[in-house]
Amino acid sequence: MIVGIVGGSGLYQLGNQTGEDLKIDTPFGEPSGPYFRTKLGSHTAIFLPRHGKGHVYSPSEINYRANIYGFKKLGVEALISISAVGSLRKEIAPGEFVLPDQYIDLTRGYRANTFFGGGVVGHAPFADPACHSLREHLSAACETLKIRCHSGGTYVCMEGPTFSTRAESHFYRSWQLPQGMVSVIGMTALPEARLAREAGMCYQTVAMATDYDCWNEENADVSVEAIIKLLMANVDTSRLLVSEVLSKTFPSCRSHCRELMKSAVVTSKELWPASKREMLGVILN
């Protein structure tokens, strides 16, 4: 299997593996940087730093469509997204990992969030946005490495780049969902997860809590310096997790992520504009 890894804040290179940089042209412009292809275990791994090397793109500036298109063009079937987040629950302590299975989108429409449009209409199923099989695989790897990990939970994706007000932070925590309180807040999981679904990829966020957000009066002063300090301490742990995951055989996808788009396109193919045919040929495979 070809596995993609998106590196979030602090994770700008996968490790010291030998490999090759790949520059991919896309119909949507340039991705965040060159992709790095290497071999880990029996799998091919393709890594891309989401914010670019040196962290030059804010969450709203990331070219999510180009990033996902490039992964798809390189044959990626499963995508592991590593992301820094704030914790909205006391029991999720800074330094712990969360594997969310749900998302709430609070971005503001600045980010292009679909490959469709322009003459081709498609509606991706998104009720269960994360891959159950991939989440179980990551959870098992965390257990092997003795990483404190919470499997499942809801990720609130805000626009940023400023952090929440205290009122907003308490407001998010007040939401009571059937599965309980929301879990974490971040800025990058969407539209990344939506685009991965349209591209037929298994997708799972590995959310690393760096702080309690500003709802926690005992730790209310959230600073970039404090977040980065804790995040960098977790970078090596996230690399170990990726290595452990890729050292094992990937389970078959019981979530059927690669089959959900089979009936999603409602525009007859003979009506597709020529400009869309090649692009969707890559995305829909």
| Active site residue ranges | 211, 213
CA angle 173, 177, 181 (to 5 degrees): 35
Q: Which of 263, 281, 275 is nearest to 119 (CA)?
A: 275
> How far apart, in Å, are the Cα atoms of 44 and each of 58, 69, 79, 121, 276?
28, 18, 12, 33, 29
Q: Compute the Cα dihedral for 148, 139, 130, 208 and give only its sign.
A: positive
> How far apart, in Å, are the Cα atoms of 42 and each of 15, 106, 172, 280?
17, 38, 42, 29
φ and ψ at residue 120, rounded to 5 degrees: -125, 120
Interatomic CA distance for residues 212 and 206, integer angstroms: 17
